[in-house]
Structure 1
Amino acid sequence: MVEGGIAKADKTEFTECWRTTWKTPYIMRLAFSAGIGGLLFGYDTGVISGALLFIKEDFDEVDKKTWLQSTIVSMAVAGAIVGAAVGGWINDRFGRRMSILIADVLFLIGAIVMAVCSAPWVIIVGRIFVGFGVGMASMTSPLYISEASPARIRGALVSTNGLLITGGQFFSYLINLAFVQTPGTWRWMLGVAGVPAIVQFVLMLSLPESPRWLYRKDRVAESRAILERIYPAEEVEAEMEALRESVEADEAIIGDSFGAKLKGAFANAVVRRGLAAGVTVQVAQQFVGINTVMYYSPSIVQFAGYASNSTAMALSLITSGLNAIGSIVSMMFVDRYGRRKLMIISMFGIISCLIILATVFSQAAIHAPKIDALESTTFSPNATCPAFAPLATPNAPPSGWNCMKCLRSECGFCASGVQPYAPGACVVLSDDMKATCHSKGRTYFKDGCPSKFGFLAIVFLGLYIVVLVNINRFQQT
């Protein structure tokens, strides 16, 4: 039948999906067109991580105020909350197709606003519009796919939406890397999101509404016409009957009061345990930091000791790729080995990776390169870090001063030109000083310090992504 709801897939269903869509390309056209919403969701949540590095270079206030950076990132999430809430009403009132079209318009407006903005607050406005689109797309795209696909392959087609989300995140890192050397950098990164929104808008104009929504609106003939394009002729009547029974059951439930529904749900022990498990996993998934990694991955890489924006985004591309690969792996193994067993293993993996990452970053800070007092005071005129200058002695730096202490004093660190982990200069934080440091063939650090432990952070960050993606897949199914 074609009712909505949670759909899961196994290996057999994916095989059947390939066979069915090969015979009936129209089904894949429906699923792919709606699935672009998942791609947009992934792109707009991932692209800001790289764009933020260059936004900080263009706007000094963003570079100096971490709360402003957090606001730019988080406004998309705030917008998504509103978009999801309003999207539910739009879905029921105007249909799934109209909801997707509105989300595309919001994506496009947000992309244009951010691409042409002249101040940080304008970027925030654009992020809010994008968030509205994300909220609507996150609930509407899988719903449309579920209601417009045959029951026997519904799980496989809905699963592709989740794959497109991680694919969109990976694509955003590729785009970020592609525009590193292009004038306008972050404007192109954020503006490109308008392209798939336009593509989906055009595709959805030629596609029908969800047959289930049409049936609920008493547009039975239109609903049947769509099912005739999806199912073989001999199966259409059975699907119409299944659809009728499903809609009637839903209407009967809708007639109950909220209190009666809640009481009925909690009276069932299986429902109670399932609800408790689902809510716990959802909350735990957010608290273990996946959004922090996806929104700030290049910044985290820089904290690990890779100062270059290009290098940070290239290494972040690895973690994003592992995110997409992890989705595919989890889809392959979730039905073979069971959700509970693999989720428990994944939780232990997450805990282990986070403990190791905390240890790595702690050791990196402790063993950060020392400060060369002579270089810091003679590097160039008026170059010495203001916090360091009064404490400096001719022969040695003040006790406890190293690269990390220098950065925490809102200064920059110009690494040694002989050996990257040798003592370097603690200098003022400015673009001019960065250029001076680079002119001497050295690396300028302002977000992280040179570290022998940096590669370990990348390795375990990648492992963390893989095991966390598995949990995300399990809770969805």
Structure 2
Amino acid sequence: MAEGGPVKPDKTEFTECWRTSWKTPYIMRLALSAGIGGLLFGYDTGVISGALLYMREDFESIDKNTWLQETIVSMAVAGAIVGAALGGFLSDSLGRKKSILGADIVFFVGAIVMAAAPNPWVIVIGRLLVGLGVGMASMTAPLYISEASPARIRGALVSTNGLLITGGQFMAYVINLAFTKAPGTWRWMLGVAGLPALIQFVLMMSLPESPRWLYSRDKVDEAKSTLEKIYSPEEVEEEMALLKASIESEKADEAAIGETMLTKLKNAFKNPVVRRGLYAGVTVQVAQQFVGINTVMYYSPTIVQFAGFASKSVALSLSLITAGLNAFGSIVSMLFVDRYGRKRLMIISMAGIIFFLIFLSVVFIEASSHAPKVGSIESVLFGANSTCSAYAGATSSAAAGKWSCMTCLKAKCGFCSNKASEVIRNFRSRIIFNICATRLILVFHQV
């Protein structure tokens, strides 16, 4: 735990943050340099959704096997699970700074591996490496910001990490859209991810270690030297005293609950306050993940395509709105979380997410059940008004066997070729509701 009490950012703290950062730019340099870890997290979440559209063009195995698509997407999450656990261990043993530098190296290597991948399984390895880097950064970066920032503006600075996560998602969609016409498309999309990791590595090399970690390792002079760059001279001694008291209290708590991990967990669960806090925290995180919001983020362009917009650039453009509202939602939460309370906003946002995800599912189920099939039997049955005249013309060639949903959508007959049909009119109405629901899901998720 950092010194100075609990982190509770409010509007006055954000004002104070701006004022303090203006007087001492070094503080913002620390926060933004470490916050690039959040940017990497957000970029990795958003970039794969667009890159996947173009991978399916280059690799037939990816296009034909949904399980391979799912493996590519989910492998980063698997790596992040391991990376988060590893990041906690490394940040305690080697220091916050070295842990962030290590995360940058792993992330950079993963980005290069993905960009140069000759086959889908190398992409999977690259995604695993990127996930490891993301997990390490997501664990260590907020910790570094918290420990290297003044107590009076600590909450506001830590909140910027969340804003950079959503900002990274928005940036990923912008870069995806920028490379839609470039040779190599998805390779550039994934490879560019290494650039912010490289920038953070260079910036962090010139920054000090967390003063709290230094003090806990009996490097008192180094800790004081760092604090002198953050605080005014009259505040340094006071902060050193708080640091000493906090470290001693932490060591006393560790001695009371035991040395081994099993003993610590056992004694922690005996404490009713710790137990209730753990239950609440874990339940909120699990609930947030299980509502399926990550499906919308990872597959947003694909969802838009299946809604009837076959063009990749159009799908990415519409997904850009999703990412923009995602970032907007994080700003809304930062502005109102202290005015209306964490619990109230969390309940409202979770209810909104559940409602609109159910609505999104119903829209697709209804569209699927009412849309006529595209196939040789249907094409013969309807004759001139066939469900897909382009498919009917291809039935005599070997290409007909390679048709998929995307092929039909590109031929502008994925759901019904008759523009006067009631089915197509109703479906287009559903598309509008579908996209609106997706946007609202992201706003509620960030609030």
Q: TM exceeds 0.5?
A: yes
Deviates more, 1:334-343 or 1:22-31: 334-343
> 2:263 and 2:247 mapped to 1: Cα distance?
19
Q: Say whether 1:422 aligns with 2:430.
A: no
Q: Is the 8 A contact 1:36 1:200 kept in 2?
A: yes
Q: Say whether 1:296 aligns with 2:313.
A: no
Q: Secondary structure at the match of 1:382?
A: coil
Q: Secondary structure at the match of 1:305?
A: coil
Deviates more, 1:243-252 or 1:265-274: 265-274
Question: Measured at CA, do residues 379 and 123 of structure 1 come closer, stay the same or move farther in structure 2, by a change above 3 Å?
Answer: same
> 1:347 and 1:43 mapped to 2: Cα distance?
24
Q: Deviations over 1:89-146 (max 9, x none)?
A: 2111111111111111111111111111111111111111101100100011100000
Q: Deviations over 1:454-475 (max 9, x none)?
A: 12111001101111112xxxxx
Question: Measured at CA, do residues 48 and 251 of structure 1 come closer, stay the same or move farther in structure 2, by a change above 3 Å?
Answer: same
How do residues 230-309 of structure 1 correspond to structure 2 at under 5 angstroms? 230-255=230-255, 256-257=257-258, 261-262=264-265, 265-309=268-312
Question: Shift of the alpha carbon at 1:23?
Answer: 0.4
TM-score, structure 2 normalization: 0.89
Question: Shift of the alpha carbon at 1:422?
Answer: 3.0
> 1:422 and 1:171 mapped to 2: Cα distance?
37
Question: Shift of the alpha carbon at 1:199?
Answer: 0.8
Structure 2 equivalent of residue 459 of structure 1? 436
How do residues 15-414 of structure 1 correspond to structure 2 at under 5 angstroms? 15-255=15-255, 256-257=257-258, 261-262=264-265, 265-369=268-372, 371-373=378-380, 374=383, 375=389, 378-380=392-394, 382-383=396-397, 412=408
Structure 2 unmatched ranges of 5 or more = 384-388, 420-425
Question: Measured at CA, do residues 381 and 287 of structure 1 come closer, stay the same or move farther in structure 2, by a change above 3 Å?
Answer: closer
Q: Secondary structure at the match of 1:379?
A: helix
Q: Secondary structure at the match of 1:218?
A: coil
Q: Secondary structure at the match of 1:348?
A: helix
Question: Shift of the alpha carbon at 1:78?
Answer: 1.2
Structure 2 equivalent of residue 437 of structure 1? none
Q: Is the 8 A contact 2:111 2:194 kept in 1?
A: yes
Q: Secondary structure at the match of 1:181?
A: coil
Question: Shift of the alpha carbon at 1:280?
Answer: 1.3
Q: Is the 8 A contact 2:310 2:409 kept in 1?
A: no
Question: Shift of the alpha carbon at 1:298?
Answer: 0.7
Q: Secondary structure at the match of 1:118?
A: coil
Q: Is the 8 A contact 1:415 1:422 kept in 2?
A: no
> 1:190 and 1:459 mapped to 2: Cα distance?
28
The letter for the 2-side match of 1:467 is F
> 1:246 and 1:145 mapped to 2: Cα distance?
17
Q: Is the 8 A contact 1:360 1:457 kept in 2?
A: yes
Q: Secondary structure at the match of 1:100?
A: helix
The letter for the 1-side match of 2:277 is G
> 2:343 and 2:94 mapped to 1: Cα distance?
38
Structure 1 unmatched ranges of 5 or more = 389-405, 425-448, 471-477
Q: Deviations over 1:254-289 (max 9, x none)?
A: 223256644654455444333222221111101001
Question: Measured at CA, do residues 94 and 362 of structure 1 come closer, stay the same or move farther in structure 2, by a change above 3 Å?
Answer: same
> 2:97 and 2:121 mapped to 1: Cα distance?
32
Question: Measured at CA, do residues 102 and 5 of structure 1 come closer, stay the same or move farther in structure 2, by a change above 3 Å?
Answer: farther
The letter for the 2-side match of 1:171 is M
Question: Shift of the alpha carbon at 1:8?
Answer: 3.1
Q: How many residues align?
A: 427
Q: Is the 8 A contact 1:75 1:127 kept in 2?
A: yes
> 1:355 and 1:182 mapped to 2: Cα distance?
37
> 1:35 and 1:380 mapped to 2: Cα distance?
53
Q: Is the 8 A contact 2:167 2:327 kept in 1?
A: yes
Question: Measured at CA, do residues 59 and 5 of structure 1 come closer, stay the same or move farther in structure 2, by a change above 3 Å?
Answer: farther
Question: Shift of the alpha carbon at 1:413?
Answer: 5.6
Q: Is the 8 A contact 2:106 2:129 kept in 1?
A: yes
Deviates more, 1:173-182 or 1:332-341: 332-341
The letter for the 2-side match of 1:58 is D
Structure 2 equivalent of residue 442 of structure 1? none
The letter for the 2-side match of 1:344 is I
Q: Deviations over 1:1-26 (max 9, x none)?
A: 94499633111110110010000000
